Structure 1
Amino acid sequence: MFKFNFSADNTAEAEEQPKVIQTEETWEKSKQIQFKDSSILQDILKNASTINLPNYPDCKYIDPSEIVDILLDSENETPVLKAEQNHLDLIPAVYEGGLKIWECTYDLLSYLSSEKIQLEGLKVLDLGCGSGILGIYSLSLGATCYFQDYNEDVLQYFTIPNVLVNNKGLLERSKFYSGDWESFANLIGDSLTEDEKFDYIFTSETLYNVQSYPKIHKVFKLLLKKSGKMYPLVRHMMIYFLKILAYLSLDAGADLR
């Protein structure tokens, strides 16, 4: 059954608004990213400190600010650095904010843990993964995980290193994809049978403009099993996702809970 599943906190404080610069948008096509060793990756793994997740000491991630410092020292021009040097959280179609861990990622992680959702042997998509925290949590419970982020350099220098510092063996149950959501859905959706689709799709604070609504809907429609569940999480999400449903002309009674 196609479901929205989420928990909303009506007393939540107003969420920090991302700093965005508007550009002429040409979205990158999706492609699979293979793990590759590099001097920059080794610098990140050897020199950057790790941060344990609150309430989840067995899961850790690399300090994003130190990744930026290492990239600056390497003189490697990336969209991440372009955004950082201009003090921007987002540059649409250029850098989609993947090097920042947004607050609701922790909220969704807490929800998944409190609900004791069983993921052993299941297939998970961490959509707009950034740090990959939700996917790494899924891997730790025995899932296979696809990590998707718009920026290849976010995957190479943040997501993949985070998987490695938790357990290098987790790479065997991981795949990584960059690029636009619609392109991603088309790239892998045509080749998946119903049994090969995702049992769960997790995404957190990935929507900031209405042009993305049809794209994320296409991901859910093409890639989620009929029996699967998706957990989009944003603050004040009841209002937010009712707007999405209205925009897409979907049934607003589609098991919103």
Structure 2
Amino acid sequence: MKKLCFILATSLLLLSACNSDNDSDKSEKKSQSESTKKSKEHSKAKQKENDSQNKSKTSENNSSKSSPHNKQQQDNNNTQKQVSLNNITDRATLESVIYGNYSEMDKIQAYNSAVANGVIPQGNVMEGPASAAYQSSLRVESGAEKSIYEQQGNTQSNTSEQDVNAEINAAQTKDEYINALRKKYHGGLSTQELQTKAAIEQGYYDGSKEEQKAIYDEIQRREADIEAGKYDQYKQ
């Protein structure tokens, strides 16, 4: 009888242990299921937040691309690519260069081209930025300022002046261009060269130090050629 009771007690203990294990397994599985569910919900919320941010950035980028300021900047860049600095034939193009995002060297080059093409008269500013030379040209044109070049212009025929300007614009090589400049400026440095030299010396030239040095050295070489008498045939 005692043996039978022991067997029953042992069976009850084993059954109770099994039930406890099953309850523990069920609780653990339920906990894991809830954790997985929360993780999925968090991932979905995070993805939704990222999608919202991406849409916002895309909208801002599109708005920025279509803004008037950026459109104007793009138009300015396109204009710069289309302008021929060696052949300025109208005042609007000249002003777009003079007051645009160009180097001082480019501005002076455009100014000299406009003068050579008769767009504006030669100004009296020999040293300083191209904008100052342009303002002087406007004053000469309006009669508010008398040109210092009038007497020089009177010593040459109109045909001769047109020929040398045409030669400057038609120059295909660097030597041809410099030689034509010497003809126009009677064997000396051109207005462009003088203004560029002054801009570099006075520290307001728009360009890198390497570019400034290269240009300044080139102007000094040209001055040396002039002093050596290379262009004496053009002196008056």
TM-score, normalised via structure 1 length: 0.24
Question: Which has the larger strand fraction?
Answer: 1
Higher Rg of the two aligned structures? 2
Question: Which has the larger helix fraction?
Answer: 2
